[in-house]
Amino acid sequence: MRIIFAASEGNPYIKSGGLADVVGALPKELVKKGHECIVILPKYQDMKLADTIEYVTNFDIWVGWRKCYCGVFKAEYDGVTYYFVDNEQYFRRPGLYGYDDDNERFAYYDFAVLELISHLDIKPDILSLHDWQAAMIATLYKERYAYYEYYQGIKITFTIHNIAYQGKCDPALLSDHFGLDNYLYYNGNCRNDGCLNFMKAAIYYSDAVTTVSPTYAQEILTDEFGEGLQNILGMRRHDLYGILNGIDYDTNNPATDPNIVENFDIDTVEEKKLKNKTALQEECGLPVDPDIPLIGIVTRLTWQKGLDLILNRLEELMKRDVQLVILGSGDAKYEEPLKGIAAYHNQKISLNLKYDFKLSCRIYAGCDMFLMPSLFEPCGLSQMMSMRYGTIPIVRETGGLKDSVEPYNEYENSGTGFSFKNYNAHEMMDIIDYALNVYSDKEQWNGLVKRAMETVLDWDKSADAYLKVFNSVLD
Ligand code: ADP
């Protein structure tokens, strides 16, 4: 089957978070399974590999009342065809998101995806939409494009990577940006809580809705996690599927990763991890000591990631014999207090307030433990990357963290990490203390490391699960 993926970011061209990892890896896996995959991305100024893409064509499109230029570029990567839609007014700026006209920028993108299909004659069987930026494609398709003969029969799936970002805006944008009649707001199809809501509309209009872990699929049906969309999701619950993301085994591979000091695999992890660890300590300006437990954190610094718990117990943690390497950037609310504590404990904490892919690889490879106490976590990739690199995750049991980390059981000698249930700083501290205790028993710890590394976290099974959903909507 031919599947077109519409998403606002994707590896290896542009990434701000886990969405790009998924869009980079899932199509590649589906191609391996014999399907044709096309990914359509905006052509951003910050795109990597921009010199490897080639111009294809251009045409004009309408975004509400605006006539806009739409250039199309193309590349082939890992068997996947990538198209990039080019409009400098909307995408020739630094970064990806965070502009006042983001809704208009992605309204443009949504039209561009649909128009590109007929201009290049690449009608798909499945149009797979991802997150709020691509969400309105579902509405545009069902309310307008599906009436044209050429477009008939395309099935739409919508994947929620994070329900916290929905694309909420002024109802007037429905006609102004999308050229759609306001009755689609008043009849509730695109409305939630007094706003035009892109994600709500996609949940309503898509043939199936998927999200990125089985636990998160259950959680978003509740008032606690649904972010106001629990009712519409409840109505679509028979078409809602939770499919755990995998990680890209080619790029996240300690045996071949060019960014780490010593490559290793499951047979050499004990010896070689130590070399990565001491090199990381040196790089981060921490005292070099192979025996001291080294805890890593790689994250966006936002409330979602459990930073409140970490800040609450950081002074307490500093009383233990540990070192901490933090890599992240985000809210000043977290950056500022972290700066203060890290400066005070500069022999124990290395704080790196930036986005640095290479350093992230060295943290996954060099640390003993990886802390990820998220308030909510649709799937989470960092815990999987750390497991693949033999770094033991300490997580809160939510969303994909619960689905991917099996809690350590000292009686059965099983498990791949440590987890705690409630969003409570003391519970987190207790489990960190427990992990530190287990760390001191080398035999137990090495068993944990091996089991974590053996855990299968690739895309094979997950891609099959997506295919099952695609086939069910085609039927
Ligand atoms: P989310 O998508 O919510 O940010 P995920 O765990 O799904 O969280 O994915 C985060 C991805 O971004 C991981 O690949 C992680 O390594 C990477 N990442 C996050 N922050 C940084 C950073 N400051 N530097 C480098 N990589 C980062």
pLDDT at 449 over 90: yes
Judge if the beta carbon of residue 17 lies within 6 A of ligand 1.
yes
pLDDT at 415 over 90: yes
Q: What integer pLDDT is reported at residue 18 of this predicted model?
A: 87
- pLDDT tens profile 320-375: 999 999 999 999 999 999 999 999 999 999 999 999 999 999 999 999 999 999 99
Q: What integer pLDDT is reported at residue 84 of this predicted model?
A: 98
- pLDDT tens profile 200-242: 999 999 999 999 999 999 999 999 999 999 999 999 999 999 9
Judge if the beta carbon of residue 29 lies within 6 A of ligand 1.
no
Mean pLDDT of the chain: 97
37 CA distance to ligand 1 middle (Å): 25
pLDDT at 51 over 90: no
Angle between helices 102-119 and 131-143 (to 10 degrees): 50
- With tokens 């944990």, the residue in question is 448
Rounded Cα gap, residues 162 and 130, in angstroms: 10
CB–CB of 113/63 below 8 Å?
no
Nearest to 137 by CA among 120, 119, 123, 158: 158
Confidence tier at 251 by pLDDT (50, 70, 90): confident
Overall size of the chain counted in residues? 475
Nearest to 371 by CA among 314, 440, 320, 291: 314
Ligand 1 site-directed mutation target among 130, 247, 298, most atoms within 8 Å of CB: 298
Q: What integer pLDDT is reported at residue 388 of this predicted model?
A: 97
CB neighbourhood size of 217 (10 A): 23
Residue of the CA atom closest to atom 4 of ligand 1: 17
CB neighbourhood size of 156 (10 A): 23
Q: What integer pLDDT is reported at residue 276 of this predicted model?
A: 98
- With tokens 């047979």, the residue in question is 267
Q: What integer pLDDT is reported at residue 110 of this predicted model?
A: 98
Mean pLDDT of all residues in 272-292 = 97
pLDDT at 249 over 90: no
- pLDDT tens profile 33-48: 999 999 999 999 999 8
Angle between helices 269-283 and 357-366 (to 10 degrees): 130
Instruction: Kindly give the number of the ligand 1 atom that is closest to the alpha carbon of 16.
Output: 12
